[in-house]
Amino acid sequence: MILLKVMEDIGIIRVKIWQMTECIVNYDLKIFDDLDELSEFFSTELKKQVDSTDNKINLALSGGNTPKYIFKFLVEHFAKKISWDKINFFWGDERCVPPTDDDSNYKMAYENLLSKISVPGKNIFRIKGEEVPEGEAKRYSEVINKTLPQQNHLPVFDLIMLGIGEDGHTASIFPDQLHLLYESKICSVAVHPATTQKRITLTGKVINNARNIVFIVTGKNKSKIVDSILTYNIESKNYPATYIKPVAGNLIWLLDKEASSLLKGN
């Protein structure tokens, strides 16, 4: 049974899929006409979250073209509106390359967001892609462990931004490395299946321990994978993103029209 409930005021669709008596899928979904509308929503929600507390927000960024657009939007429209010094910036994953490399997720975030807002360097916790991956995964795990509050014996991020690849990967958890979803480590080394590039990624357990997880997905090329994951069809079992289900937090999917075009009723 699929239950769809529309919260009319802000157009969020609440989706729950039940199997027998167990709710196996539970997420909120919001579809936008374009990336500007989506970015405006994300930026406003981020501002609300920062304003709602005196504490620092621990935010994990993702790489990819969609976040890049959002970072630029934040700089253009929210540079002066958000108290950036109240945000600690982490990354959900990093490619094992130096921070000067165009493949670096840190470089992308630095050039498009961090260098253009007023944020102290001590709030920026980058993954050192230039270091030996296994050692860096361990070091970054310790940094996260020391800096974030804990629940369920695991660190709790306030917000994790995620994208998905056309193969269903999220962060750097790829379909042939589903074990990274369940590892007890905070960060692990992953290998991109096509390029063999090493990555450092948060593991599934830490992602699922977050207070808020937001998937941000745009473009027609993602419509098939989005449909599969969000309707929990048979193929979805192969995709890491399917297993992102917060243990106690909120999961929201922000899509543009194109990424949502195969979803029923759209």
Output DSSP code: residue 67.
Answer: H
Among 19-27, 57-65, 78-86, 122-130, which window interacts with ligand 6PG (CB under 6 A)?
Answer: 57-65
Taking the C-alpha atoms of residue 254 and residue 24, their distance in angstroms, rounded to an integer, is 20
- Residue 11, CB-side half-sphere exposure with 13 Å CA sphere: 10
Least separation in angstroms between residue 64's CB and ligand 6PG is 3
Which long-range contacts link 195-198 to residues 24+ away (Cβ below 8 Å)?
Answer: 197/95, 197/96, 197/97, 197/103, 198/95, 198/96, 198/133
Binding mask 81-110 for ligand 6PG (x = CB under 6 A): ------------x-----------x-----
Least separation in angstroms between residue 138's CB and ligand 6PG is 20
Applying CB under 6 A, does 256 fall inside the site for ligand 6PG? no
| Residue from 60, 171, 226, 229 in contact with ligand 6PG (CB under 6 A) | 171
- Residue 157, CB-side half-sphere exposure with 13 Å CA sphere: 31
Q: What angle do CA 70, 49, 186 make, to 5 degrees?
A: 80
Least separation in angstroms between residue 83's CB and ligand 6PG is 26
Q: Is 87 exposed, middle or buried (0-12, 13-18, 19+ CB in 10 A)?
A: buried
# binding residues, ligand 6PG (CB under 6 A): 14
Which CB, 86 or 246, lies closer to ligand 6PG?
246
Pairing label, strands 57-61, 87-91: parallel
Which CB, 85 or 103, lies closer to ligand 6PG?
103
Which of positions 129-168 make contact with ligand 6PG (CB under 6 A)?
A: 163-165
Among 40-48, 145-153, 170-178, 225-233, which window interacts with ligand 6PG (CB under 6 A)?
Answer: 170-178
Least separation in angstroms between residue 61's CB and ligand 6PG is 9
Least separation in angstroms between residue 163's CB and ligand 6PG is 2
Instruction: Tell me the H-state helices in the chain.
Output: 35-51, 65-78, 105-112, 133-147, 204-207, 223-231
- In the structure encoding, which two tokens stand for residue 16, read together? 């729950």
Which CB, 105 or 212, lies closer to ligand 6PG?
105
Q: Mapping DSSP to helix (H, G, I), strand (E, B) and coil, where does residue 58 land?
A: strand
What residue ranges bind ligand 6PG (CB under 6 A)?
A: 62-66, 93, 105, 163-165, 169-172
